[in-house]
Amino acid sequence: MSRKERLIYEHLKENYGITVFFAYKPFDRISNYFFIGMEAARKKLVFVKLDRTGGEASAREAALLQLLQPHTGSGYFPNLIAYDAEGRYPFVALEFIEGISLAQLMAQRRSLPSKQKQEMVRQMAEISTILRQANVIHRDIRPANIMFQSGEAGKLQLTLIDFGFSLGLAPLDLPELPFLIAGELLPTLGDGYKPDDLTWDDAYSFLIIAHMIDADCYWRSPDKYAKLLSQLNTFRYSHT
């Protein structure tokens, strides 16, 4: 364990009651550190992201998860446990989500029952609707940022993660993040799942993923597919 990691562990435990079990090395686009630990007060497993953007991404993710908090009971969004956007070690701590990402699920080439595919399309339509009603554009919707949990009797749950690059449009006043404008990361957000390099439409992203999950979703789940399709081009953002 490096000295920096030890200091971070001590900081999280002393100030937030989070005991870290282990850390992931940097592997995302902004070299965040990731930790798994236990939050003592509620005895919950937590996923901690140490922010390398000076707190901008942590502040944004925390603000939007607080906004979406009334919907966390649906399981569609992570529960925010703690965050610090201004200290020496900016971070967000989220309730740990069991399961795998849709990217991992697709890589397994697992054959899913038709009912599960239909349910996944339904949940994506619900998530898209909630974001639209909240005036939030996630803009990095891709299989790696959607968690998949499967329970008994074929029950499943999708959870959209990673709101650190998201926007809150009027009247939220959560505009473009300075660190994104200054760097080269902006065009990579939602790459392959958006209408244009600097245009984002969450319904568009979900529609692409729906077709990846079930190429026949437009007739197998007509009502659910139509709900997503009706949102296309109605709520988007272009960076100029």
The domain limits of the chain are: 3-95, 100-238
Tokens of 114: 């038709």
Cα 200 from Cα 236, distance rounded (Å):
6
Residue 62's Cα: distance from chain center in Å? 12
Return the sign of the alpha-carbon dihedral for residues 84, 85, 90, 91: positive
Compute CA distances 134 → 13, 138, 176, whole Å.
Answer: 34, 11, 17
Check residue 30 and give its pLDDT: 54
For residues 235 and 197, give the distance between their C-alpha atoms in angstroms, rounded to a whole number.
Answer: 16
β-pair partners for 93? 48, 82
Q: Write down the pLDDT at residue 25.
A: 60
Predicted local distance difference test score (pLDDT) of residue 100? 94
- Kindly give the confidence (pLDDT) of every residue in the chain, 240 residues in length, as a single tens digit, with 9 standing for 90 and above: 678 778 888 999 999 999 988 876 655 555 567 889 999 888 889 999 988 888 999 999 999 999 999 998 889 999 999 999 998 899 999 999 989 999 999 998 778 888 899 999 999 999 999 999 999 999 999 999 999 998 776 689 999 999 999 999 888 889 898 888 877 889 999 999 999 999 999 999 999 999 999 988 888 888 989 999 999 999 999 998
**Domain 100-238 CATH superfamily:** Transferase(Phosphotransferase) domain 1 (1.10.510.10)
pLDDT confidence of residue 109: 79
CATH assignment of 3-95?
A: 3.30.200.20
Q: Going edge to edge, which strands form the sheet with 156-160?
A: 100-101, 146-150, 156-160
Backbone angles phi, psi at 80, to 5 degrees: -80, 125
Please indicate, yes or no, whether the overall pTM of this predicted structure exceeds 0.85: yes
- Residue 167 DSSP SS3: strand
